Amino acid sequence: MGPPQNGPIYKYKGEMIKKFRVQISAYKMYADFNIESLDTPQDIENAIIDKLGKNDIKWESLGEMHDPRVNRITYEEVIDGGDNATSGDPLHTEKGTGSSMGAGAS
């Protein structure tokens, strides 16, 4: 996509690229990482899948306290450019027993 310019939002081929913090809780495991993507649900989903495919995500065990029937993906826009500095509220949260993808918010 190219290097970011002036914070978490920059242009790539005339379109705005944003940074998102993604948190995944599934199968008694947890991951927290950032992606860069256009602000559309399909582009965010593709960026998450690309990141998962690289196998460079650190997964942590949630232990036995986590209900394995509840799997969740949340993402939120990174506001100030820090690794995990966000608006405070997830843009969208999906809960379910299978894999699911949330829709973005404008």
Alpha helices in the chain (DSSP H): 41-53
HSE-CB of 100 using CA atoms within 13 angstroms: 16
**62-78 pLDDT, tens per residue?**
877 777 777 888 889 88
How do the domains of the chain map onto residue ranges? Answer: 10-96
* Six token digits for residue 39: 């602000």
Supply angle C-alpha 100, 80, 25, rounded to 5.
25
pTM: 0.61
**37-54 pLDDT, tens per residue?**
998 899 999 999 999 999
Phi then psi dihedrals of residue 65, to 5 deg = -75, -20
